[in-house]
Amino acid sequence: MCQSCHVRALSTYRTAERNCRDTGEGAAGLTTHAPQASHTVTLPASLDEAVAALTAMPAAVPVAGGTDLMAAVNAGLLRPAGLVGLGRISEIRGWQYLDGHALLGAGLTLARMGRPDFAALIPGLAAAARAAGPPQIRNAGTLGGNIVTSAPTGDTLPVLAALEATLVIAGPEGSRREIPVSHLLTGREMLQPGELVGFVRVPLLHAPQTFLKATGRTGPGRATASVALVLDPARRNVRCAVGAVAAMPLRPLEAEQWVASLIDWDGERGLVPEALAAFGDYVAAACIPDPAPPQDGSEPAALPPAALHLRRTVAALARRALGRALS
Ligand SMILES: Cc1cc2nc3c(=O)[nH]c(=O)nc-3n(C[C@H](O)[C@H](O)[C@H](O)COP(=O)(O)OP(=O)(O)OC[C@H]3O[C@@H](n4cnc5c(N)ncnc54)[C@H](O)[C@@H]3O)c2cc1C
């Protein structure tokens, strides 16, 4: 095995070039699927150094916990010419408070986000982090990786959509720009070459938030459907996002507005079971709509059984999520 390919800590920022072809030892240190690949591994100590490394090596890719990236490498889907490891960048591994917001580092692990102190701050995101995969995945996987992978089953994504979080993106020469997380998830705005997600800005709502997930199995598993729901008493808003049923989280805006209008924001905030059930159905029908009626005026096709089942699952999750938030 080529020991020279292993990622090593560098005391200061510098590039460690390890060309396995030159040594004739192969590249087994990174993946068994690319034995002839040449690997450049860089371990910067700051966000700006990481951006500089990516700018200098356009073919390199950033890697945080590696849970998604290495799965793609091992599946033969990706052959990165170089890696820029983000694991040593301490500035993105924690969070800070800023004007009623929390600025979360992209390098926060899912395990860290699941802890009680984080849950007291942003309970919906903590619940999603706790539900994401088995412990070894949560120990390594990061918030930034979950966002950039943008998998439909990414558990933090519906919560970030419901919170209307924004991303602070670090670019060349110390530049920073901020975009709504939904812009990245919908492909409306993309990361440019050399850019990294540095932080996630999340409003601190000081109100109940819930995240519920259905999986096709017992124990940790990818979501078949998930619902994030947050109350925003200051704006008298209910915000809801449904995950895993489409390529990106879906916001049932009409259902949100309808249910917010039913809530006595200055009083008990409770809703009768019929209203909770109606909200669940409203959300589910918005996210998994009936097939469009045919142009020729014939009977519309029925929703396939699998879609019907998914719709019922979403309805149940949304009803329970709202019930818990209001209880
Ligand atoms: C067995 C298994 C089970 C899983 N179960 C779940 C689950 O239940 N729920 C769930 O949500 N996820 C699950 N995942 C997916 C995965 O763990 C998460 O998506 C994780 O959060 C990814 O983070 P990472 O740090 O490992 O990302 P990496 O693999 O390091 O990176 C992923 C992608 O993001 C890019 N990237 C990483 N950080 C940044 C950054 N700061 N700026 C720009 N680009 C960046 C990388 O270049 C790469 O393209 C599972 C994965 C596995 C292997």
Q: What secondary structure does DSSP assign to 258-299, as a single string?
A: HHHHHS-TTTT----HHHHHHHHHHHHHHHSPPPPPPTTSPP
Q: Which two tokens stand for residue 301?
A: 């096709």
Residue 205 has pLDDT above 50, yes or no: yes
What per-residue confidence (pLDDT) applies to 91? 97
Q: How much is the average pLDDT of 282-297?
A: 92
Amino acid at 111: A
Model confidence band, residue 114 (pLDDT cutoffs 50, 70, 90) = very high
Whole-model pTM: value is 0.89
Please tell me the distance from the alpha carbon of residue 207 to that of residue 279, in angstroms, as a whole number: 19
Share of the chain above pLDDT 70, in %: 88
Torsion of CA 18, 24, 29, 30, to 10 degrees: 70
Q: How far is the CA of 95 from the centre of ligand 1 (A)?
A: 19
Ligand 1 contact, 184 CB (< 6 A): no
Query: What are the structural domains of the chain?
Result: 3-89 (3.30.43.10), 91-203 (3.30.465.10), 209-326 (3.30.390.50)
Q: Select from 65, 81, 84, 64 the least CA-distant residue to 14.
A: 84
What secondary structure letter does DSSP report for 68?
T
Phi and psi angles of residue 15, each rounded to the nearest 5 degrees, phi first: -100, 130
Question: Is 141 near ligand 1, meaning CB less than 6 Å away?
Answer: yes
Q: What average pLDDT does this structure show over 80-94?
A: 96
Whether ligand 1 lies within 6 angstroms of the CB of 249 is answered as no
How far is CA 32 from each of CA 28, 41, 171, 235, 321, rounded to the nearest angstrom? 5, 17, 33, 53, 44
Instruction: Tell me, in angstroms, the distance from the centre of ligand 1 to residue 287's CA.
Output: 25
Residue 135 in contact with residue 111, Cβ under 8 Å? yes
Is residue 86 in contact with ligand 1, taking CB distance under 6 Å?
yes
pLDDT tens across 25-84, in order?
A: 333 344 444 444 457 899 999 999 999 999 999 999 999 999 999 999 999 999 999 999
* 51: Cα separation from own chain's centroid: 21
The DSSP secondary structure of 35-101, one letter per residue, reads TT--EEEE--SSHHHHHHHHHH-TTEEEESS-TTHHHHHHTTS---SEEEE-TT-GGGSSEEEETTE
Residues 6+ apart with CB under 8 A from 24: none
Residue 327 is predicted with a pLDDT of: 92
For residue range 135-179, what is the model confidence (pLDDT) as tens digits?
Answer: 999 999 999 999 999 999 999 999 999 999 999 999 999 999 999
How many angstroms separate the alpha carbon of residue 144 from the centre of ligand 1?
Answer: 7
Instruction: Name the residue of 68, 86, 177, 215 whose CB sits within 8 Å of the most ligand 1 atoms, as the mutation to test its pocket.
Output: 68
Measured in angstroms, how far is the CA atom of residue 152 from the centroid of ligand 1?
Answer: 12
196 lines ligand 1 (CB under 6 A): yes
